[in-house]
Amino acid sequence: MNLAAIDHQPTRAFVLPLARTRLSFRLLAARGDLRECLLIYWKRNDPYPASRREAALALRYRSAQRDDFRAAVSFVETAHYIRYFFKLRGADGQEMYLSEYGFTVQPPADGFFEFLYANDRDVLQTPDWAKGVVYYQIFPDRYAVGNPKKALHAYEPWESVPTAQNFLGGDLAGIRARLPYLADLGIGCLYLTPIFRADYNHKYATIDYYSIDPDFGTEEDLRALVQGAHALGMRVLLDGVFNHTGVHFPPFEDVLRKGEASEYKDWFYASGFPLTMQPLNYACVGDYAYMPKLRTGHPQVRDMILDVMLHWIRRAGIDGWRLDVADEVDGCTWHFIRMRLKDAYPDALLLGETWGDAARLVADGTQMDSAMNYLFRSAMVDGFAKRRLTVSQLDERLQRMLMKYPDAINLGMYNCLGSHDTPRFLTEADGDVQRVKLAVAFQMLFPGSPAIYYGDEVGMAGYNDPDCRAGMIWRQQDQNLQLLAWHRQLIALRQKSAALRLGDFRTCVCDDARMLYGFNRTLAGETVTALFNCGSQMQSVDIGSSGRAVDLLAGNTLDLTDGRQTAPVPVPPYSVKIIQIWEEEDNA
């Protein structure tokens, strides 16, 4: 038994309240090293060992180096003064016990781990509506024109090549007019990139957080959009750009004018006065001089951010916020805002942007509810668009990713294939629609919340910003209708299956030689098995199940028994099979 690889600490990374009466326990070990992991637990005031109970931790995720064992344990009262240790059985048959004092060959007599108390705010709570929801990201200037009479810019034709400077005229009224299309697609939540008064077509250089940019309409247009979306069962997130502002943000302009005498000088990170762009002597996001960074830990800045977030929830009825470069904002600010905002609106979603490991934002449930999962995107690009991963390498990337977060967080991660900051997935795939279809299927079947970047569903292409921000293709003759139907079909399957939205995940096939990958999603007697043939040869897979099964794409019932043996499932080249299996009821 590799004791050096075994890890458990009595911290939130390993013991997390899922409810005041339910705790999640976790233990890490070397891959394949443990055959069994038992939690031995009891209440401090109860007699030991007479009152002790056992719970088996299941192998939940497996990377190339480590196994991740987890279990959720329920209690009849608020979990408090819970003492525990672990009984471990190795693959070699060796038995060891793990307590606060370390490893022993006999059950420990003292030195137990202890969980003290599940307070209200200790509980990991994320909005139920956001677990498994399908997102749709919109860049407002490029989606649809609702008010063609606007004359704020010299608008270019809708089919123009996108640039960092040009405007096409999309607006909130245009989005509202397309809500029936989005509802028919099966979208559950819209995410709009910034709509507040700001410089540039992207609006990430904010001038006024309390007014809608005239390019997009009015506050009444926003309310009408939100109300229309709600009527069709969709939620709406706005983009909160609070890490930085634009240079025309009034407090920054005040510092430009008054220098060190400005009452707002401490809102920003100045290394000298007066402020200058050449040489640059103030901090900026991405070192872009036109977007100065806010000192988000400053009490006045922190209060302003909270006020803006509450303002638009109250005034427009939005359902939460996507928070730009959330990982560069002072962590104490997010703790403060989450506490205050959730007191008033517990169902409001906080979705943070980050490009790597999102654990700092989401792992302990004290900042964000979810994060943009670019680690997922990179795995899809490398695994399906570029085809430069074996299936075992793909599995390794995904397993390592899932191990970073609690299961409840994994179910709500924003799993995107693209965004306004990336090349479009069809372009990443060199125009190969079949690769895109496989990636979309994977996205819709994998744990988390699939996110569609506007136009990807109809086959839009484009290199990185600004090329990925072209006008939405609305003419049917220019759309890839087969790809659109594929999205609709898979979203509909997801909506009908609780296992696909909320079920556990387990890899069931990982065969490099045959280029086959498969996983199960399981919940309450329902198992959905997804089988991906990434190669050019017909393959067949014995999924180890028998009984009632349905091919969800073909819509036909499968007979998984062949006499007394289970029958293999055929999987054609470069395709996916989705099999739904229900446990047979025992009528004995």
Contacts of residue 28, defined as CB under 8 A and 6 or more positions apart, other chains included, come to: 5, 6, 7, 8, 66, 67, 68, 69
Instruction: Indicate the DSSP class of residue 383.
Output: I
Residue whose C-alpha is closest to residue 408's, from 445, 355, 368, 354? 368
- Whether 353 is a known active-site residue: answer yes
Transcribe 513-555 into DSSP letters. Answer: TTTEEEEEEEETTEEEEEEEE-SSS-EEE--S--SEEEETTTT
Tokens of 122: 């200790």
Candidate list 33, 171, 239, 324, residue with the active-site label? 324
Count the helices and strands in the chain (H runs, E runs): 14, 30
Candidate list 353, 395, 428, 456, residue with the active-site label? 353
Distance (Å, whole) CA 468 – CA 483: 18
Task: State in Å, rounded, how far the first CA of the chain is from the last one.
Answer: 43
Instruction: Indicate the DSSP class of residue 382.
Output: I
Q: Is 228 left (phi over 0), alpha (psi -120 to 50) or beta?
A: alpha
Tokens of 45: 């005031």
Angstrom CA distances, 62 to 67, 75, 488, 508, stand at 5, 28, 32, 12
- Whether 324 is a known active-site residue: answer yes
- Which residues, listed in sequence order, are joined to residue 22 by a DSSP beta bridge? 19, 74
Helix 481-496 with 433-445: angle, nearest 10 deg: 10
CA 72, chain centre distance (Å): 22
* Strand ranges in 301-460 using DSSP code E only, listed in sequence order: 320-323, 349-352, 370-371, 414-416, 449-453
Give the total residue count for the chain. 588
Tokens of 100: 């606060």
Task: Check if the beta carbon of residue 550 is closer than 8 Å to that of residue 557.
Answer: yes
Distance (Å, whole) CA 477 – CA 292: 44
Distance (Å, whole) CA 342 – CA 335: 11
Residues taking part in catalysis? 324, 353
